[in-house]
Amino acid sequence: MKKITILLVAIFTLSKVVNAQWTEVNSDMPNAGISTDVESFAAIGTQLLAATNTGVYLTNNNGSSWSGVNSGITNTDIEALAAIGTKLFAGTGNGIFKSNDNGSTWTSISTGLDISMGTSVYSLFASGTNLFAGTEAGVALSAPPYTSWTMINTGLTKTDVYAFAQIGNNIFAGILFSGVFVTNNNGGSWTAVNSGLPTGFNSDFESFAVSGPNLFAADLGGGIFLSTNNGTSWTGINTGLTELSVHALAISGQNIFAGTDAGVFLSNNNGGSWVQMNIGLTNLTVQSLTIFGTYLFAGTTNGVFRASLNSFVGINEMQNENMQVSIYPNPSNGIFTITSNKIEKTKIEIYNSIGECILNRELTKGTDDINLSDLPNGIYSIKLTGENWTEHKKIIKG
């Protein structure tokens, strides 16, 4: 067995992982589990709202039940949601609607939108009190009291706008087949920032995520790209990402989640590597993600799924020198070290995702090296048994 030497600055242990990460939470949604297409989420206080192809749905119990809130919406193909204070906005297949009462009633606020290329609104983004809308005819801007819109397309080379993000004064827009554009004057003018990105028909950016100075962009076909300099240059970060059609991104602390056509992937090293996190996720076409409270919600083509953030390996890492067993690095390339503060012999069993035991032997030292580099990437369960104790761990190979 291959031996490696690891210099350890601090020993970390991973929080216990529950067996099932994802739970389907579609109660009271029409066609749930069949054809409920969930495109977007928004939150107001303790209420989470979902944009679906059959209207807006609201939950105040973390998805245990949903209620339709569509009075006044004349087109219930909802593409986008956004909230500013107590106001809620919905982008639909026929313009934009506003609600002042958590969705109980809606009014149309489409005055000023350019409908020369169509009436669909693909994305909404709040920047302070300004609201940006991505439409078939470009970017529209509205400000309080949000009754009309101004088109702000100077510098854009194409007009289907699917995503927005902001770092400081810079607002970024993802344009279909045209890449990423940036403005620092609230849309007075836009500049392309595409160095290192796919071009032409390969350029379809549907989501952004921001972590400090890092801007992550999800491309539908090209995977995920990272810029650390406000879009001046980009680098692909797709190691371990086996599906490059990426619809959605979400960030919780140091952890980045990606929603793809093959489920949800997690990176906890700034996109350096990715691993699938699909236990319990029965629909793998993930179109939207959001962090709400202690949960990660995923919108799929067949409804909503929910996972506790604590159920993901790597979410809660903490220094704990009193633990009997430590495993590091985690995630790894399959080669990792197990340390134990017990001198006694310890039995180790490692199981793959379908419950097959792939390793069964004794650890006889305080430090042992394990090599899974020849096995597929994924999550492996580890059972360690001593004379009077048992420890369960998880290891990510990615």
- Residue 126 to residues 88, 132, 134, 358, 371, Cα–Cα distance (Å): 11, 6, 12, 50, 48
Could you tell me which residue, 378 or 198, shows the higher pLDDT? Answer: 198
- Above 70 in pLDDT, residue 195? yes
- Above 70 in pLDDT, residue 193? yes
- Above 80 in pLDDT, residue 123? yes
- Alpha helix segments (H runs only) across the chain: none
- Is residue 315 very low, low, confident or very high in pLDDT (cuts 50, 70, 90)? very low
Dihedral sign computed on CA atoms, order 127, 129, 135, 140? negative
- Above 60 in pLDDT, residue 104? yes
Confidence (pLDDT) at 18: 34
- Above 60 in pLDDT, residue 6? no
- Is residue 339 very low, low, confident or very high in pLDDT (cuts 50, 70, 90)? confident
Q: What is the pTM of this model?
A: 0.76
- Is residue 344 very low, low, confident or very high in pLDDT (cuts 50, 70, 90)? low
Mean pLDDT of 90-96: 97
Confidence (pLDDT) at 362: 83
Strand partners, 104: none
- Is residue 337 very low, low, confident or very high in pLDDT (cuts 50, 70, 90)? confident
11-52 confidence digits (pLDDT tens): 233 333 333 489 999 877 876 555 689 999 999 988 999 999
Q: What is the mean pLDDT of the chain?
A: 86
What structural domains does the chain harbor? 19-311 (2.130.10.10), 322-397 (2.60.40.3080)
- Above 70 in pLDDT, residue 360? yes
- Above 80 in pLDDT, residue 372? yes
Confidence (pLDDT) at 313: 54
- Residue 328 to residues 14, 139, 232, 338, Cα–Cα distance (Å): 9, 47, 35, 7
Rounded CA separation 215/208 (Å): 7
CA atoms within 13 A on the CB side of 288: 27
Q: Which backbone phi and psi does 200 adopt, to 5 degrees?
A: 60, -135
